[in-house]
Amino acid sequence: MIILGIESSCDESAASICKDGKILSNVVSSQKVHNNYGGVVPEIASREHDRLLNHLVVKSINEANISLNNIEGIGVTKGPGLAGALLTGVSFAKGFSQSINVPIIGINHLEAHIYANFLAYPKLEYPLVCLLVSGGHTQIWYIKNIFDYELLGDTRDDAAGEAFDKGSRILGLGYPGGPVIEKIANKGNSDAINFPRALMEKDNLEFSFSGLKTSLLYLVKKEQLFDVEDIVASYQKAILDVLVTKLLRAINIKKVNTCIIAGGVAANKCLRRMVNDKLNNRINVYYPDINLCTDNAAMIAFLAEIYLMKGIRSSIDFEVVPNLKLK
């Protein structure tokens, strides 16, 4: 099937064409305007989606070298995400599906991040453990089979990506925090400061990053004499230590031979190195390409095709769900 995917859950506007599990085009426009505010402004995000989506869809169709008549279905993110941003994308997708008379399905953004790995590696086999880590979520899943999920661990407060963004804001480094912290951390000593790691008790698979953020804030207020590179490197290591430790625990508990990393933080090269070093080739580890880690529409189109091929579709009056969970 030839599927159009549309993504507008936060501050990336995106459109993609996938055919038979392969990407024909994947167009993403990151809304740089939010950099001026130190974070995403929901109203601005919605307006930017409204301004950009038609252009991005046309561009994705042209890059895929297809016509409107070739599109057989539409997938669009219905949640989780910012309510206004989701509404903009879903409203556009509904109108588009009606105009060309093709089925539409609302897609869970978190589930799409997981299946970005299957888009990149079609021969992935179940069961497996997934570390899903992004700006809004930090979770560990045991995936027994297609669409069969067991939540092993979740965050009690901030997500890991949120900790990167808030840490960057405290240090005055800019937004988004993940890439800038990773870049600066490469120049620092990650053992210079012993930041706290929460919930590290044996067999605990939950996360908490609010205390780490507070510790960084107190450090900055005390004006202690540390190089910013060392602060950033130590702060990043504290986040990644927790992620990797919990992932290894989950792998040992479930005794799987495969794990996948998904979500925007999966793009962090230091995280990838730490996971590879700790596992030391004991099991198979998979990460999507960098452009499939961050928000994109290819993962939406890919998952939509799986559902539509199974005869599963949404009614035209389906609603967005900003706090949508993965079950």
Phi, psi of 27 (to 5 degrees): -110, 125
**Angle at alpha carbon of residue 135, lines to 294 and 93, rounded to 5°:** 55
Contact criterion met (CB below 8 Å) for 250 and 142:
yes
Confidence class of residue 327 from pLDDT cuts 50, 70 and 90? confident
Length of the chain: 327
Token pair, residue 248, equals 């290894």
pLDDT, residue 202, reads 85
Average pLDDT over all residues of the chain: 95
Confidence class of residue 174 from pLDDT cuts 50, 70 and 90? confident
What is the longest distance spanned by two Cα atoms in the chain?
A: 64
Helix axes 177-185, 228-254, angle to 10 degrees: 110
Token pair, residue 236, equals 């990043």
- Asked if residue 127 has pLDDT above 90, the reply is yes
Domains 2-113+293-309 and 128-255 share a fold: yes
Q: Report the CATH number of the 2-113+293-309 domain.
A: 3.30.420.40
According to DSSP, the β-strands at 128-133 and 138-145 are antiparallel
Q: For residues 97 and 305, what is the distance between their CA atoms, to the nearest angstrom? A: 15
Whether a cis peptide bond, with omega within 30° of 0, leads into 80 is: yes
Confidence class of residue 159 from pLDDT cuts 50, 70 and 90? very high
More confident residue, 226 or 119: 119
- Asked if residue 36 has pLDDT above 80, the reply is no
Which amino acid does the sequence have at 93?
A
Residue with tokens 């910013």: 228
Domain 128-255, second-level architecture: 2-Layer Sandwich (3.30)
pLDDT, residue 175, reads 86
Domain boundaries along the sequence of the chain: 2-113+293-309, 128-255
pLDDT, residue 35, reads 78
Contact criterion met (CB below 8 Å) for 211 and 170:
no
Could you report the per-residue pLDDT of 227-261, keeping only the tens digit for each? 999 999 999 999 999 999 999 999 999 999 999 99
Contact criterion met (CB below 8 Å) for 117 and 286:
yes
pLDDT, residue 301, reads 98
Residue 184: how many other CB atoms lie within 10 Å: 20
